[in-house]
Amino acid sequence: MASMALASARTSEMDEERAAEAICSQFGATPPKLVTFFASRDRDHRALNRALRRRLPRARLVGASTSGEIDRDGIHSGSIVASALSGDFDVGVGVGRDLSRDAVAAGATALYQACAQLGVPPANLGTRHVGMVVDDGSRDKKEEFLMGMLEPNPALVLVGGGAGRLDEEPASSVLHVDDEVLDDAVFLLLFQTDVRWAALRSHAYVPTGKKLLVTKVDSSFARALEIDGRPAAARYAELLGVDVTDLGIDKPAGFATWPTARRIGREYFIHGPSRPLDDGSILFSNLLSEGTELELMQLDDLAGSTARFLREEVPARVGPPAAAFVFHCQRCMSVAETRGTTQDVSRAFHAAPVVGMNAYLEVYCGFQMTSTLTALAFGSS
């Protein structure tokens, strides 16, 4: 019977050689096929990559810079969280470069590279295959590279998130693929396995029943000029009963607490606004089209929903989980900080063997998400 095992490690050591030694010493004796790591941006990532590669010459190595590192002990800052995965699986790793110039082509390139390493044409990917995607989130190109990545096989399941910090100016992100350290790129980790797996997502929002219609957008398709035929920011503030100055995602009554979602079937996909602009428009995290109907959502219990998701939903899909890669929205952490529930949210991750990061927007199947926890979970067998 196919099986998979994960060994996790964490260190706050700032010297890269000592950090790499601390990480590898926690992995145990089983040689890993795949090593993932998530590290704070303030480190020397090139030196860290070299130090890890010297100690792990045969394993595939992928990583990213973060605004918060996650393992079963919770959410950490300024650390390195790593995992060593062994068992019955094969993996291909594809890289798409120059996201800023041509994100569609970058997504397609990453897919074809990963498939070539597995010896499987993209059209033949099936239920034994699932992908984990990490991109330079500061480029804001998820929806475009996903089009290129999924065009040859729209049924391919993808989960992931962006490296980077929403509050960093200028924004910068770092990705690791084997011995390369990259930016302005995306990597696809394509698994081939008979181990039971599941792609999942969770959010802590409930529908309010209030609908709004995007009636005018600009040429970038990311900025709503009008909602319900009115200036966008003024209309959104009216729906919430607040002033336009209270709409920012860092405000208690703003976009992070009251985002919007697209309803697809019975499910709500959080496609939230990012910030109000001085001209009265609203910049959204997702691309928009005129005539798009959105529903206003309200934040509920963030810590409770996260704990239930990991404690109940993940085992229901894969049985006792052996590993779960998680991508947790940075905006949710901003809300938790505002409400004083950061420790409660952090403790929620005790419920499963997780490794991951606070993400700069999230990926679930062919969708870019906001304010969402996405996860790729594998069963023990």
- Does 323 score more than 90 pLDDT? yes
Whether residue 306 sits in one domain with residue 293:
no
pLDDT at 229: 98
Q: Can you tell me which residue has the tokens 């999942």?
A: 200
pLDDT at 170: 57
**What is the pLDDT, as a whole number, of residue 333?**
86
pLDDT score, position 303: 95
Same domain (yes/no): 252, 339: no
Q: What is the mean pLDDT of residues 53-80?
A: 96
More confident residue, 250 or 35: 35
Domain boundary among 246, 280, 299: 299
Instruction: Verify that 98 and 111 share a domain, yes or no.
Output: yes
Sign of CA dihedral 69, 75, 76, 77: positive
| Residue 168 confidence (pLDDT) | 60
Tell me the per-residue pLDDT of 103-161, one tens digit each, with 9 for 90 and over.
999 999 999 999 999 999 999 999 999 999 999 998 999 999 999 999 999 999 999 99
Whether 308 and 176 share a structural domain? yes
Model-level pTM?
0.95
Give the pLDDT score at 250.
Answer: 80
How many domains does the structure of the chain reveal?
2
Q: Are residues 250 and 198 in the same domain?
A: no
Q: Give the pLDDT mean for 41-65.
A: 97
Q: Say if residue 24 is in the same domain as residue 91.
A: yes
* Whether residues 165 and 249 fall in one domain: no
Q: Are residues 198 and 212 in the same domain?
A: no
Do 284 and 367 have their domain in common?
Answer: no
Phi, psi of 366 (to 5 degrees): -95, 15
Domain of residue 358 covers: 4-202+302-379
What integer pLDDT is reported at residue 44 of this predicted model?
A: 96
Whether residue 339 is predicted with pLDDT greater than 90 in this model: the reply is no
On the CB side of 346, CA atoms within 13 Å amount to: 13
Percent residues over pLDDT 90 in the chain: 88
Whether residues 295 and 316 share a domain: the answer is no
Residues 105 and 226 reside in one and the same domain: no
**142 and 198 together in one domain:** yes
Of 299, 322, 341, the position where a domain reaches its end is 299
Q: Name the pLDDT band for 332 (thresholds 50, 70, 90).
A: confident
Q: With 0-12 CB in 10 A as exposed, 13-18 as middle and 19+ as buried, what is 61?
A: buried
Strand ranges across the sheet with 129-136: 89-97, 185-193, 129-136, 158-163, 362-364, 367-369
Mean pLDDT (the chain, rounded): 95
> Which of 299, 323, 356 is a domain's end point?
299
